[in-house]
Chains A and B, each alone.
Chain A
Amino acid sequence: MSVPIMTLDKVRKSYGDSVAVHSIDLEIAKGEFIALMGPSGCGKTTTLRMLAGLDKPSAGEIRMWSRVMNDVPAWERDTPMVWQSYALFPFLSVLENVEFGLKQRRTTDAVGRRAKAMEWLDRLGIAGMAGRGIDQLSGGQRQRVALARALALEPEVLLLDEPLSALDAHLRVRMQTELARLHGELGITFVYVTHTQSEAFAMANRIVIMSEGRVQQIGTPQDIYRAPATRFVAEFIGASNILSGTLKESGAGGIVIENALGRFRSAGATGIAVGQDAAFVIAADKIALTRAADPAEPGLDAVTGTVAAEEFIGAVVTIHVDLPDGRSMFVQKQQNEVGRLGLARGDEVRLAWHPQDTFVIPG
């Protein structure tokens, strides 16, 4: 990576005794759409506020290009933010809200300012609202004003803190598409905070998963989905089965984990020592489902169990299977694939997968 546009170097933030962000290392490339994702209270907003200069790191360094930003006050930075509550100025009209940042810059006169603000309102499809007061707008319109207000500054980096969380589901999907489009058109860097997986996976080039003030994993949506690095990520993403056991072998031939169900192989390396607890993760859509009586396909690892329940969401079926040792796993399939098997509750099935499709995480 060439010089990142923003760098967090061992950044920590504590409030008295409680630590909101432990020690974050992160490099954000120019033009990236990066999502910070994690459950509520994990330190996403704090991280974003530090990037904006609204909170000062207790330790570590924040750089923009190569400039250390720790002591640069918020009003001298160029990282406008879209707030969860929108934080629009209630006593100003829509147009005046969008003009606010330009007015502080004093780079244009009143006429140029107005033209620029109108241009952005137009771009976001709310030029007709320019004269309105904020309390005369719907949630979706406020969202657009908030975006226009930040983008009118034409920054290199746009910060967004759960910008869609106050919208209803339908609007959220539409705005998601629009944000992705804006990002593509503008070519600027978006740092997007969310606790909603679908938003991050739909829009981001790269996702940072956080938990309790620590980074759990940084990667593309693909990486995170296919190869969760920790149990937390695997559980948070929820798309995978996690089977724990003891690490029996680790070497050039791969990894072997053993538990009451048998011995399971996994590709790739791990820092876990032989004899330690470990778990392997297998994505629900990477599992082949057959009747237990059918012949097993060679080269795959497998377990057998009984069908416990089926859930239909659109064309995708989730089948929950109870295993002999009391655990359960789930498999996701297209409905037409499963239909062929004609499964019923209590039927014996075999779940099989390629060792290459599994990942080992600490137990």
Chain B
Amino acid sequence: MNAATVRWILMGYVLLVFLFILAPILTLVAFSFNVDRFPALPWGGFSLAWYEAVFADETVSTGFRNTMIVAVTTAVVATFIGFATAYVDYRYQFTGKRAYLALASLPPTVPVVILGIANLSFMAAIGLSGTLTAVILGHVVIAAPYAMALIRIRLADLDPAIEPAAWNLGATPWATMGQVIVPFCKPAILSSLAITAAVSFDEFMIAWFVSGIHETLPVRILAMLQGQVSPRINAVGSLVFLVTVALVVVAQIAVFSWRRKRPLAGGGDG
């Protein structure tokens, strides 16, 4: 077999894998625009009726709003915590550092059902059960490790002499944080904001356990599924998919910008 053949086979294989993963989603998107009530071939005709129905449905728009509030807050809080955790790892040497890092990375490895139940009983105990705050707290726990991982990778590229160099030039530790560390980490911070928002945006289990009457969109979708099957679900699903993909793409763009060279233009007469 020559190299070209191998390449074609590999490409075909990759294509198949993508098809396998994306086919259900593409079907869902396709049928969200189908005029027919039941998803069946042949295709009945193009229609935006289901999207109109979704936007008219108050439970969906409330769910969407809740999801957005939770996602944005989670992204900000989780990124802040992730940054702080990563910075502590970067700056300080201390015994128990491995344990510290292991603990900080732990949440995503816990089965979500367990996390959901744990959150439910804990939030109930502190009187937060059934609030959006509870959902946010639960999401911060699972999202912060992603933020830490991203920012830690970025900090690993920072010359250890940079920070003392800033101090040496008269910058206080806080000024150094604001003028050196954060600007250096900016791509990772942007990327982390997008990824943690995406993690929160389509998280179902914790939200289902603790949200109570403040349903987030994924919880609403399940409720809709449990009622009658309606093509509106296809429309909602497509929207959720779109937002998640958009967030991941933003995160990727930020990550790729790490390696991008600075353009020649800039201050001075260079």
Contacts and interface: CB of A to CB of B under 8 A. Distances in A.
Contact of B268 (A84, A85, A93, A104): A93
Nearest to B163: A87
A191 to B, nearest CB: 13
B161 A85 contact: yes
Interface in B252-270: 261-262, 264-270
Interface string B181-194: 00110100000000
Interface residues of B, number: 28
A135 B159 CA distance: 14
A93 B270 contact: yes
B267 A131 contact: yes
Contacts of B44: none
Contacts of B262: 93, 132-133, 135-136
Interface stretch (A75-83, A210-218, A259-267): A75-83
A153 B170 CA distance: 10
B171 interface: yes
B162 interface: yes
A323 interface: no
Interface residues of A, number: 40
B167 A95 contact: no
B171 to A, nearest CB: 5
B5 interface: no
CB-based closest 10 A-B pairs: A131-B270, A130-B268, A133-B262, A104-B170, A101-B169, A131-B266, A87-B165, A87-B161, A95-B268, A74-B167
Interface of B: 159, 161-162, 164-173, 175, 179-180, 183-184, 186, 261-262, 264-270
30 contacts: A49-B164, A74-B167, A75-B167, A75-B171, A80-B169, A83-B161, A83-B165, A84-B161, A85-B159, A89-B184, A90-B184, A91-B184, A91-B186, A93-B268, A95-B267, A96-B267, A101-B169, A101-B170, A104-B171, A104-B175, A105-B170, A118-B268, A129-B270, A131-B264, A131-B268, A131-B270, A132-B270, A133-B262, A150-B169, A153-B170
Given A75-B167, A94-B270, 6 more contacts: A54-B167, A75-B171, A91-B186, A94-B268, A101-B169, A149-B169
